[in-house]
Amino acid sequence: MTLLKDKVAIITGGAQGLGLAMAEEFVKAGAKVVVADLNEESAKAAAEGLDGEAFGIGCNVVNADEVQAAIDAALAKWGSLDVFVNNAGITRDATMRKMTEDEFDAVISVHLKGCWNGTRLASAVMREQKSGTIVNISSLSGKVGMVGQTNYSAAKAGIVGMSKAAAKEMAHHGVRVNAIQPGLIRSAMTEAMPQKAWDQKMAEIPMQRAGEPNEVATVALFLASDMSSYMTGTVLEVTGGRFM
Ligand SMILES: NC(=O)c1ccc[n+]([C@@H]2O[C@H](COP(=O)([O-])OP(=O)(O)OC[C@H]3O[C@@H](n4cnc5c(N)ncnc54)[C@H](O)[C@@H]3O)[C@@H](O)[C@H]2O)c1
């Protein structure tokens, strides 16, 4: 595949789960990939395991300087930045009665501030190049709201608004910004869920199965590539039909 031939892509939270699946798809499509993750060791190991040009770097998306350092490293090595995926994420689930302020702040910070850092800093490079695509990973939780996720649902809905605002600011600079809302996808994040919660979610899915990380990664590849050249400010649901 040559959909991303010679394109340079940064994926935050790329050391495992959905982000790693994206790194694998992007490399297969010919991209040079930076795996940027809070866990530097895993980021490096993940990059080494990829079948193509890639490197891993430690990066906390909440810290703008660290996001800028990942972008600078990509530019220093490969000279451009064509794709930026804001994928890093955490959950701190609890009902409002039990959720602490720290749990609220942590989730808002990683998802919303992290996504803003990635979007604005990648945009700054891409507008000069007059090309680039940004893919922001929201969630179905941001569309419908989930019990025990007032923090996460707020952050993921916020990512949709942010993506649309950024898409409008950047469209005339040749930079596209789109979002994906995955449903229930098999990863470390969802496997930590109690069986009862898993079963309840499964019952809501018309396709009657959870998604696999590569089924989100191929949609990210579509949005990252020229296959979606006339799409910006959109939200694609990857949910097996859940809450359509
Ligand atoms: N798995 C699902 O069902 C599902 C559904 C909807 C949305 N999502 C979203 O997809 C994204 C990836 O989720 P996943 O299931 O692969 O989770 P995961 O927990 O398997 O992976 C998340 C990665 O993000 C990294 N990370 C966490 N905080 C970070 C930070 N501050 N800076 C940089 N990296 C950080 C972690 O180290 C980890 O490698 C998240 O944004 C998540 O909210 C997942």
Predicted local confidence at residue 197, as pLDDT? 86
Predicted local confidence at residue 80, as pLDDT? 98
Predicted local confidence at residue 1, as pLDDT? 73
Q: Which helix H or strand E contains 108, and what residues bound it?
A: helix 101-108
Q: Amino acid letter at 68?
A: Q
Q: What is the average pLDDT across 107-121?
A: 98
Predicted local confidence at residue 191, as pLDDT? 87
Question: Angle at CA 20, nearest 5°, toward 14 and 26?
Answer: 100
CB atoms near residue 195 (< 10 Å): 7
Q: What is the average pLDDT across 56-85?
A: 99
Instruction: List the chain domain ranges.
Output: 8-238
State the chain's mean pLDDT as an integer: 97
Predicted local confidence at residue 161, as pLDDT? 99
- Chosen CATH of 8-238 out of 3.40.50.150, 3.40.50.720, 2.40.170.20, 3.40.30.10: 3.40.50.720
The helix/strand/coil state of 35 is strand
Q: Which helix H or strand E contains 179, and what residues bound it?
A: strand 175-182
Which ligand 1 atom lies nearest to the CA of residue 18?
16
More confident residue, 227 or 197: 227
Predicted local confidence at residue 192, as pLDDT? 84
Predicted local confidence at residue 111, as pLDDT? 98
Residue 49 contacts by C-beta under 8 Å, 6 or more apart in sequence? none
Cα 167 from Cα 176, distance rounded (Å): 6
pLDDT range class, residue 39, cuts 50, 70, 90: very high
More confident residue, 211 or 191: 211
Predicted local confidence at residue 149, as pLDDT? 97
For 110-122, b/e burial (b = at least 16 CB within 10 A) is bbbbbbbbbbbbb
Residue 194 has pLDDT above 90, yes or no: no
Pocket of ligand 1 (CB under 6 A): 12-13, 15-19, 37-39, 59-62, 87-90, 110, 114, 137, 139, 182, 184-185, 187-190
Predicted local confidence at residue 218, as pLDDT? 98
pLDDT range class, residue 193, cuts 50, 70, 90: confident
CB 129, CB 84: distance < 8 Å: no
Q: Amino acid letter at 136?
A: N
Which ligand 1 atom lies nearest to the CA of residue 61?
32
